[in-house]
C-alpha cells in the first residue's frame, strides 16, 4: 500500500484525492497480497495495475446537470464522475520509474506503451528535473551527511539551497531573512522537533511547496490538514529526490501555481 499511497499523493499534489482513490483501488484489487504491508515486488506491481485499470475504466469529466443546486449524498459513483485527467505521460513515467522505482518495462506496461515509446517519454519526463529555475530551497534535516547529500542533489538541478537547519527555531530564523519556495524536510528533527510541527508553523505565514524525506513515512500520514503530498522514503536514491523536485514544480505550474513569493509574512 505504501508505494501506491505515496504515488497517488504526488500524482495530483492532493492528499484527499489520493486517499479516496487508494480506497477505490483496494476495494477492487485483484490480489490479496497487495493489502499486506510486506507485499512482494510482484504484488506491488499488481496493485499499481489495479489502479491504472480502475482509473482507465472511468470516463472523467464533470458531474451531470442533475446535480446543480442539490446537496446529493457522496458516494463512490459520484466520486467517479469527478475524475481529473492523469498528468502527461512523461510525468507519469518520471514518477513510476524514478520516484516509485519501477523498471522501464514495468512502467511501460502500466501506462500501455511499448518499451521504446516508454523510454522516449521517460527521457522527456527527466527533463523536468534538469536546469530548474534557481528557486530558494530550505532543508530541514538533523543528520549532517544526509543534509549535505540533499544539498548536493538539489544544487545539481539548478535550485538554490538557502540554508540547512536542524530544528524549527532555526527554520523560522532563515525564513525571516529569505522565504523559501520549497522546503525539503525530515520528520524527526533536533531537540524533539518534528517536520510536521515546523511546517505547520511556517505555513501559517506563507505558501511554499513541501517534500518530506523521512525514514518514518507513516509518522507524517496523520490525517491532519498539513499532511504532505510528496513523501520520499529513506534510504533514498538521488533520482527519487530529483523526480520529487521536478515533478512538484511542474505539477504546481500546471495546476495554476501554489508557490507565492509575494504573500505577506509575519513569522513570530
Each residue of 129-175: pLDDT tens digit?
999 999 999 999 999 999 999 999 999 999 999 999 999 999 999 99
> H helices within the chain, ranges in order?
2-12, 15-27, 41-56, 76-80, 89-94, 104-110, 115-126, 144-157, 168-177, 195-203, 238-254
Band the pLDDT of 31: cuts 50, 70, 90: low
Decide which of 223 and 196 is more confident.
196
Decide which of 134 and 29 is more confident.
134
pLDDT digits (tens, 9 = 90+) for 4-13: 888 888 887 6
What rounded mean pLDDT belongs to the chain? 81
Distance from C-alpha of 228 to C-alpha of 14, rounded to nearest angstrom: 9
Containing H/E element for 138?
strand 136-140
Looking at the chain, the whole-number percentage of residues with pLDDT higher than 90 is 50
The answer to whether 18 and 4 have CB atoms below 8 angstroms apart is no
Across the beta sheet with 230-233, the strand order is: 160-165, 136-140, 182-185, 209-214, 230-233
Decide which of 229 and 30 is more confident.
229
- pLDDT of residue 240 exceeding 60: yes
**What average pLDDT does this structure show over 237-241?**
97
Band the pLDDT of 261: cuts 50, 70, 90: very low
Amino acid at each position: 500500500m505504501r508505494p501506491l499511497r505515496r504515488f497517488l499523493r504526488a500524482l495530483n499534489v492532493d492528499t484527499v484525492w489520493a486517499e479516496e482513490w487508494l480506497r477505490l483501488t483496494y476495494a477492487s484489487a485483484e490480489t490479496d497480497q497487495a493489502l499486506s504491508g510486506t507485499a512482494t515486488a510482484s504484488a506491488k506491481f499488481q496493485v499499481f495495475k489495479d489502479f491504472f485499470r480502475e482509473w482507465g475504466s472511468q470516463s472523467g469529466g464533470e458531474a451531470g446537470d442533475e446535480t446543480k443546486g442539490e446537496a446529493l449524498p457522496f458516494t463512490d459513483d459520484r466520486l467517479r464522475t469527478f475524475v481529473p485527467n492523469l498528468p502527461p505521460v512523461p510525468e507519469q513515467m518520471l514518477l513510476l520509474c524514478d520516484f516509485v522505482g519501477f523498471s522501464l518495462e514495468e512502467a511501460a506496461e502500466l501506462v500501455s506503451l511499448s518499451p521504446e515509446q516508454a523510454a522516449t517519454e521517460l527521457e522527456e519526463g527527466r527533463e523536468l528535473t534538469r536546469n530548474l529555475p534557481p528557486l530558494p530551497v530550505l532543508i530541514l534535516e538533523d543528520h549532517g551527511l544526509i543534509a549535505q547529500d540533499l544539498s548536493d542533489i538539489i544544487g545539481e538541478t539548478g535550485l538554490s539551497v538557502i540554508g540547512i537547519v536542524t530544528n524549527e527555531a532555526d527554520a523560522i530564523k532563515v525564513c525571516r531573512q529569505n522565504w523559501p519556495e520549497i522546503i525539503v524536510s525530515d520528520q524527526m528533527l533536533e531537540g524533539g522537533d518534528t517536520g510536521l510541527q515546523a511546517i505547520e508553523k511556517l505555513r501559517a505565514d506563507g505558501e511554499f511547496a513541501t517534500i518530506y524525506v523521512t525514514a518514518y513515512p507513516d509518522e507524517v500520514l496523520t490525517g491532519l490538514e498539513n499532511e504532505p503530498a510528496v513523501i520520499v522514503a529513506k534510504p533514498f536514491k538521488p533520482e527519487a529526490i530529483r523526480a520529487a523536485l521536478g515533478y512538484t514544480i511542474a505539477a504546481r505550474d500546471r495546476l495554476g501555481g501554489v508557490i507565492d513569493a509575494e504573500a505577506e509574512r509575519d513569522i513570530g
